[in-house]
Structure 1
Amino acid sequence: MPDHPRKVLLISADQWRAECLSAIGHPVVKTPHLDALAAESVLFKRHYTTCAPCGPARTSLLTGLYLMNHRSGRNGTPLDARFTNLAYEVRKAGYDPTLFGYTDTSQDPRGRAPNDPALKTYEGVMPGFTVGLPFPDHMMPWIADLKAKGYRFNDRSDVYKPRQDVSLPADRGHSFLPTIFKAEDSETAFMADTVLKWLSVRQNQDWFVHCVFLRPHPPVIAPEPYNALYDPTDVSMPRRKATPEEEAAQHPHLKLWIDHFREHSSYDEHNPYNLVTMDELNLRQMRATYYAMITQVDDQIGRIIAHLKATGEYESTLIIFTCDHAEMGGDHYTWGKETYFDQSFHIPLIIRDPRRTSDNGRGRQIDLFTESVDIMPTILDWLGSDIPAQCDGRSLLPFLEGNAPVDWRDEVHYEVDFRYTPNLPGLDAETWLGLKPDDCYLTVIRDRRYKYVHFATLPPLFFDLTQDPDEMNNLAEQAEQAPILLRYAQKMLSWRMRHADRTLTNLHLGKQGVFDGRQRHLIS
C-alpha cells in the first residue's frame, strides 16, 4: 500500500434514513455491500445533517457551514460566492474534483446578466467541480440513453410511470408496480456505469470523485426484480398518532405539512392515493419499495468498490458514504424531509481510511454525535490540507485512527428555512401561517435526553426523548419543564454565538503582521 494514498471517493445518496443499514440491525432492509464496507471502516451511528432539503443540505456538506452561516436555505436560494468549498480546497491540493450527479447549488446572481441560464435553475453545480455526469431533474443524459436502447415514452414526466402490462397482486400495493425500464438500465445503474467508465482509465492517477445517487429519493417505484424484494407484511407501520387531526394538533408547522401531503402528487408522482389517508397495504408497500430502492443503490455501490479492489485502488482510496438528508416515510403522517423530526435529519455515515494508521479503528461503530459539516474538515485533514476558518465542523480523523477526540460535542444541531419558494408553490407557509419570510425558520438542539425546537415566531417544542423517543408529546407548555427548556434555549443561543460567521474573527493585525489566534489551540 502506498505511504501517501491520494484518491478520494465521496458517495452521497439522497433521502436515506440512518436506520436503513443491515449493519446496524435493520429488521427488513438488506445492504450487504455497505455492511462489508462498514466492517472495514468506521460507522457513525448518530450522524445528522445540519439542514434540509437537498440544496441546503449539500451546501452544508460541501462548505462545512451551518445553514445560519451559508444562508442558502431553500432549493433556489443563491449561495454567496464569497464562501470557499470542498472542491475549491482540494484543487489547492492538486486534484480536479469531478462530480457525477448534482449538488443543487443556486448560483450567486450578483454580477450575472439577467438572462444568464445559471439564473434560470436551482440545479447548478457547486463551483470548483468538473462535471463528469450532470444529473439534474430533467435527467437528459439518462433519458437519452433509455431512448437509444429502444424504450418508448414521451419525456421526463413519463419515465417513472409504472408498467401497464403488469397486474397488481391482491397482497401488494400500488408502488409494487415496476418501472418501464429494467434494473440494468435504471438511473442508479446508469450512474454507476458512468463512474466505472471514468475510473477505468485513471487507475494510475490521483483522483477525487463525488458520486451522487438519486435514490431512494421519490418517486417511490423500483424496477424488477427489486420491486418484489420486500414483502409489505414484513414492514412496520409508521410511528404516528391515531388520526392525522390528532397529530396535526402538535404544532402549526406540522399541520402545514400534513395538509400539504393530502394534495395529489405532492410527494410521489403517479401515486393515485392521498398520502395521509391511504390504506395500510399501500402504506406498507411504499415503505417496502423505499427499502428496495436502497438495496438497489447498495448493489451499485458494491460494483464500484469491487472495481477498486480489482485494480488495487481500494487500498489507496478514502471512501465516504453518506447522504444529504433523510426521509419521514409516513411517520407523523408526513413524507420527505422538511419537518422538525429526527427522521428527516438522522443519516448514515461510513468512512474507510485505507492508511495503516487507521487499522485500529476498523469495524468500530461510533455512538457520539457527528454532523454533516464534519465531512469537509475530515477530507482536508486526511489530505494534509489546511481547514478553512469558515468551517463549522471538526475533523473525524481521530475516530478513524481509533482514538477519542478531546472535548467532542454532546449534542447536534439542525435548521430548516421554510419560507415560500416558487420551486414548491403548493406549500406557502407565509400565507397559511400568516408569517413574514424571515419568520419562517426553525432551529433544533438535540442531545441524548432532550430535544428543543425553536421557531422565529411560532411556539417552541420540547421533547423528553428518554420517555418519548417518537416525539409525540410536546412538553414546552408544561410549567415544570420551564427550567429545563430555558437551559436548552440558552445552550442554543451559546451555540449560535460560537458559530456565527468568524472567517476573519481570529485574525489580528499588528507589528508582526497577521496573527491567527486559532493556532494557540488544538482546534480546527
Structure 2
Amino acid sequence: MARRKNVLLIVVDQWRADFVPALGAGFLRTPNLDRLCREGVTFRNHVTNAVPCGPARASLLTGLYLMNHRAVQNTVPLDSRHMNLGKALRRIGYDPALIGYTTSTPDPRTTGGRDPRFTTLGDLMEGFRAVGAFEPSMDGYFGWLAQKGYALPEKREDIWLPEGEDSVPGATDRPCRIPAELSDTAYFTERALTYLKGKGDRPWFLHLGYWRPHPPFIAPAPYNTMYSPADMPALHRRATWQEEAAQHPLLDFYLRGISQGSFFHGAGGAASALDEAAIRTIRATYAGLITEVDDALGQVFAYLDETGQWDDTMVIFTSDHGEQLGDHYLLGKIGYHDESFRIPLVVKEAGPSPRAGEIESAFTESVDVLPTILEWLGGEAPRACDGRSILPFLQGGRPDGWRDHLFYEYDFRDVHYSKPETALGLGMDDASLCVVQDERWKYVHFSGLPPLLFDLRRDPQQFENLAADTAHAAVVAEYAQKALSHRMRHAERTLTHFRATPGGLEERNP
C-alpha cells in the first residue's frame, strides 16, 4: 500500500526574509521555524513575484507571473480561466482546505455587479474549501470571538487598540486589548487543529494562513514586550527622507503619501516622519508577532508528531510578501525595494532529507511553489505555469538550466486607497515596473518612468541609481534586454504547444 502524502502549506503575511534566524536573525526566538529549517532546506534568495497581497497570492497559487495572471492590484479581479493550486489538486484527488485568505476578487463575468465580494478588499480563490476563512471582512474571526463569549466593541477593529484607548497615535509597546488566547493567530491555529483532527487517516492538503506579522503593529501580551527595540537590526536609509525621494518619482510619491494610519488605528502623519526610536519599537512589535505565530505553529507541529503524521507530510513555510519596516523611510510593501520582495521559503519533504539543515542559494520565486507541490503529489504543473519545481534541490541536485536571475513586478495603477497613477500623470497601463536582479546588478524597468540600476556589490542597500550614468549604459542595455527576453519567454502559452497538421491535432513536448 502506497504511503499517504499530506501537504501543509503555511503562508504568513508580510514576513520579510531577514527576520528568519537561519538567515541571520539571531535576535529572534522561533524554535518551531528553526526546527523546520533543521529538517528541511532554507532558500536564501527567494522572492515573491509581485506585491501587495492580492497579486502576490495570485502568483503563489497560480504559478503565473503578474504579467500573465493580471490580477495586478488588490481589488483587481482574477480571470476565472486560470488554473490554480486548488483546482489542480482536485484533479489528482485532493480536497484542498484553506484557512486564512487569498485576497482574490472574482471575475465579474462569472457573477453580477451587486455581488458583495466587490465591496471588499478580496475574497477566496476558487478551488479551495474554506475551513477557517478570515474573509470577507474578518467575519469568521469576529464571529469566533463572539462565540467564545468575548464582548466585541461597537467598532470591532478596536480590539487591536490598547485597553482604554480609542486610537494608537504611533509606535507603541503597549499590548492590544485582545488576549493572546483570542488573537487572530489563535483563531487560525484552532481552525487548523479542528480540521486536522477531523481528517483521521485520510490524505490531506491544508493551506494554513496567518495574518501576522501584518499590521496593525500592536501585539497581545506577552509578545508586546518580548523584544527590546535596542536589539533590533539597524535601519537602512539615507540621512533624510527627501534624499531618498530624490532617487525616483515613484519613491517620492510614496514617501509623501503613506500615512501612519495604515499601520496604527487612528494614527496621523506621514510614515516617513517616524524617527529611529519609533521604527525600532515597530520592529520589536513585529518580532513579537512573529514569535506568536511560531508558538502557534508549535501546536500544529506537535499534533502532527503525536499522530505520526509529521513524517508523511511535506511542510512548506513562506510569506506572501515582505515589509519595509522603516528602511528607505517606508512602511508596507510597495515599489521596488528588496525588503518588500524578499521572503522566507523553507521546504521539508516527508521523511528524512539528504539536505536537511542546508541553505540553498539558487534563485527561487513564489511561482515555484505550485509546480513543486504538484510534482511531489504525482501531478503535473499546467503548461502555462511560469515556475519550476524545486524538488531536485531538496534531493541533492540542481535542475538543468535553472534561472540565473530573479524576476518580479509591481503595478501601481490607481486603486481605491492609493492614486500614484494620477499623481504621476501616467495611463493605467503604464503604471508598472519589472525587476531583473542577480548577484551583481539590479535593474528596474518602468513602462512610463525612468529606469533604475544598482550595483549590488558596491551598494547593497540600493541608494545610488546608476541608470543615467553613461559609464553604465552597456549594463542598462544588457539588463533591459534580459527583462525583454524574460517577458517574451514567459508570454502566455497555454495552447502554444499544440498545432494543427494534415494528420490532425498534435501536441509538442515543450
TM-score above 0.5:
yes
TM-score norm. by structure 1 comes to 0.93
Identity over aligned pairs, percent: 44
The correspondence of residues 49-60 of structure 1 with structure 2, limited to 5 A, is 49-60=48-59
Change (3 A) 1:273 1:288: farther
The correspondence of residues 204-283 of structure 1 with structure 2, limited to 5 A, is 204-261=201-258, 263-271=259-267, 274-283=270-279
Change (3 A) 1:470 1:253: same
Q: Partners in 1 of 2:189 and 2:133 — Cα distance?
A: 13
Of 348, 358, 362, the residue aligned with 1:368 is 362
TM-score norm. by structure 2 comes to 0.96
Alignment check: 8 A CA contact 1:260 1:266 kept: no
Q: Partners in 1 of 2:343 and 2:188 — Cα distance?
A: 21
Aligned residue number for residue 154 of structure 2: 154
Change (3 A) 1:493 1:361: same
Q: CA RMSD in A?
A: 1.8
The correspondence of residues 128-139 of structure 1 with structure 2, limited to 5 A, is 128-136=127-135, 138-139=137-138
Q: Does 1:124 align with 2:123?
A: yes
User: Counterpart of 1:487 in 2: which secondary structure?
Assistant: helix
The correspondence of residues 52-131 of structure 1 with structure 2, limited to 5 A, is 52-131=51-130
Change (3 A) 1:467 1:506: same
Aligned residue number for residue 484 of structure 1: 475
Alignment check: 8 A CA contact 2:51 2:321 kept: yes
Following TM superposition, by how much is the alpha carbon of 1:154 offset from its aligned partner in structure 2, in angstroms?
Answer: 1.6
Following TM superposition, by how much is the alpha carbon of 1:113 offset from its aligned partner in structure 2, in angstroms?
Answer: 2.3
Following TM superposition, by how much is the alpha carbon of 1:372 offset from its aligned partner in structure 2, in angstroms?
Answer: 0.3
Following TM superposition, by how much is the alpha carbon of 1:302 offset from its aligned partner in structure 2, in angstroms?
Answer: 1.4
Q: Partners in 1 of 2:260 and 2:345 — Cα distance?
A: 33
**Which structure 2 segments of 5+ residues have no match?**
none
The correspondence of residues 141-180 of structure 1 with structure 2, limited to 5 A, is 141-147=140-146, 148-164=148-164, 174-180=171-177
Aligned residue number for residue 392 of structure 1: 386
Aligned residue number for residue 44 of structure 2: 45
Aligned residue number for residue 288 of structure 2: 292
Following TM superposition, by how much is the alpha carbon of 1:121 offset from its aligned partner in structure 2, in angstroms?
Answer: 2.9
Following TM superposition, by how much is the alpha carbon of 1:273 offset from its aligned partner in structure 2, in angstroms?
Answer: 5.7
Of 483, 491, 515, the residue aligned with 2:506 is 515
Q: Partners in 1 of 2:171 and 2:18 — Cα distance?
A: 25
Aligned residue number for residue 306 of structure 2: 310
Q: Partners in 2 of 1:23 and 1:437 — Cα distance?
A: 41
Q: Which amino acid aligns with 1:260?
A: G
Q: Partners in 2 of 1:106 and 1:210 — Cα distance?
A: 19
Alignment check: 8 A CA contact 2:74 2:103 kept: yes
Alignment check: 8 A CA contact 1:19 1:26 kept: yes
Per-residue CA shift, 1:469-507, capped at 9, x if unaligned?
000000011000000110000011100010000111112
Q: Partners in 2 of 1:3 and 1:416 — Cα distance?
A: 43
Of 451, 455, 466, the residue aligned with 2:442 is 451
Alignment check: 8 A CA contact 2:123 2:136 kept: no
**Which structure 1 segments of 5+ residues have no match?**
520-524
Q: Which amino acid aligns with 2:47?
A: Y
Alignment check: 8 A CA contact 1:418 1:441 kept: yes
Q: Which amino acid aligns with 2:300?
A: I
Aligned residue number for residue 11 of structure 2: 12
User: Counterpart of 1:142 in 2: which secondary structure?
Assistant: helix
Aligned residue number for residue 181 of structure 2: 184
Q: Partners in 1 of 2:110 and 2:102 — Cα distance?
A: 22
User: Counterpart of 1:99 in 2: which secondary structure?
Assistant: strand
Aligned residue number for residue 34 of structure 2: 35
Following TM superposition, by how much is the alpha carbon of 1:266 offset from its aligned partner in structure 2, in angstroms?
Answer: 3.4
Larger mean CA deviation between 458-467 and 280-289 belongs to: 280-289
Alignment check: 8 A CA contact 1:11 1:319 kept: yes
Following TM superposition, by how much is the alpha carbon of 1:271 offset from its aligned partner in structure 2, in angstroms?
Answer: 3.7
Q: Alignment length, in residue pairs?
A: 507
Q: Partners in 1 of 2:257 and 2:172 — Cα distance?
A: 20
Following TM superposition, by how much is the alpha carbon of 1:123 offset from its aligned partner in structure 2, in angstroms?
Answer: 1.5
Q: Which amino acid aligns with 1:468?
A: D
User: Counterpart of 1:276 in 2: which secondary structure?
Assistant: helix
Q: Which amino acid aligns with 1:126?
A: M
Q: Partners in 1 of 2:460 and 2:339 — Cα distance?
A: 11
Following TM superposition, by how much is the alpha carbon of 1:272 offset from its aligned partner in structure 2, in angstroms?
Answer: 5.2
Alignment check: 8 A CA contact 1:51 1:345 kept: yes
The correspondence of residues 311-330 of structure 1 with structure 2, limited to 5 A, is 311-330=307-326
Of 398, 416, 420, the residue aligned with 1:404 is 398
